[in-house]
Amino acid sequence: MLTFIEPHPALLLRHEKQRTLIVSDLHIGWEVALSEKGVHVPSQMPKLLEKLLQIIKQTKPSMLLLLGDVKHTIAKAATEEWRDVPDFFATLTRTVPIIKIILGNHDGNLEPLLPEGIETLPPTGTTIGDVGFFHGHTWPAVELLKCRTLVMGHVHPMIMFHDPSGFRITRQVWVRAKCNRDQLKKSLARHYNIKQATTLNVKTAQFIIMPSFNEFLGGQPVNRKGIGTDHKYQAFIGPVLRSKSVKIADAELFLLDGTFLGTVEQLTDLSLS
């Protein structure tokens, strides 16, 4: 059973005796991008850790699964990350028995920063019971398609409203969307060069896109016109959304506290006046 841990960008999956807490897109060290521009702010890692520890205390997981982009700089590891990432995980390994990390596109050179005993998994993901998890910048592995629900990160979904005085209101959101199975089957067969797409047994019915755990980050307003089709957003949203395997127009959007907002189509380019 998959539970939303309101009001946090976190999920709890109960499967057999395992309780797995899932969070995505920590982006530890995003402050480095600011310091490169001459703006120096203290490390925000302790706040992320504090928030995660509080959720762990509340949900008592036997496993923590991170859906990628643990750190922020993409190819290398910045100096701050050499300090912050090991400190962050040193505390977590004392708190949760099992920690697994699905690698995201920002996780280049992450492994040397991790304490022993933390398992890293490829971006193509992993399954627990009937739920598949992957980062989202690449295709999931074929084996994930046997899962009814696929959970991904990477997009940092948000909702954006405008008002006439020029204010912009943005909030992080959960996205729950139905799967276009035929399209998923076709696109995945093409990607993995499988000749007989019909041999693929796709059971996936829905996608859940997780909001980023690091709330300082910007994200992609999913109610922006052309998000699924316009060329300039294509690179960021990842291949699964690009392929139209996810029915994004009908996708349901929820605030972190569980409030249902409406569908992407209802909320597209909504101006408040």
Q: Which residues bind Mn ion (CB under 5 A)?
A: 69, 104-105, 154
Least CB distance from residue 225 to Mn ion, whole Å? 23
Instruction: Estimate to the nearest angstrom the gap between the alpha carbon of 9 and the chain centroid.
Output: 9
Least CB distance to Mn ion at residue 74 (A) = 9
Backbone angles phi, psi at 5, to 5 degrees: -90, 80
3-state secondary structure at position 146 = helix
Q: Which is nearer to Mn ion, 53 or 217 (CB)?
A: 217
Please identify, using beta-carbon distances, which residue of 154 and 171 lies nearer to Mn ion.
Answer: 154
* DSSP letter assigned to residue 224: S
Q: Which of 59, 73, 67 is nearest to 28 (CA)?
A: 73
The CA-CA-CA angle for residues 119, 14, 3, to 5°, reads: 105
Nearer to Mn ion, 104 or 228 (CB): 104
CB nearer to Mn ion: give 69 or 80: 69
Q: What is the DSSP letter of 112?
A: G
Minimum gap (Å) between residue 123 Cβ and Mn ion? 9
Name the residue type at position 218.
G
Q: What is the C-alpha to C-alpha distance for residues 68 and 5, in angstroms, rounded to an integer?
A: 19
Of 8 and 154, CB closest to Mn ion = 154
Q: How far is the CB of 201 from Mn ion (least distance, A)?
A: 28
Q: How many residues does the chain have?
A: 273
Q: Are the C-beta atoms of 159 and 268 separated by less than 8 Å?
A: no
Beta bridge partners of 178: 206
| Minimum CB–partner distance for residue 85 and Mn ion (Å) | 16
Q: Closest approach of Cβ 156 to Mn ion, in Å? A: 8
Q: Which two tokens stand for residue 179?
A: 């799967």
If the CB atoms of residues 138 and 245 are measured against Mn ion, the closer one turns out to be: 138
CB of 140 to Mn ion, least distance (A): 14
> Given the complex with Mn ion, which of 213 and 261 has the nearer CB atom?
213
Q: How far is CA 33 from CA 54, 72, 95, 172, 273, in A?
A: 27, 9, 30, 21, 36
Instruction: Please identify the residue of the shown chain whose CB is closest to the bound Mn ion.
Output: 154
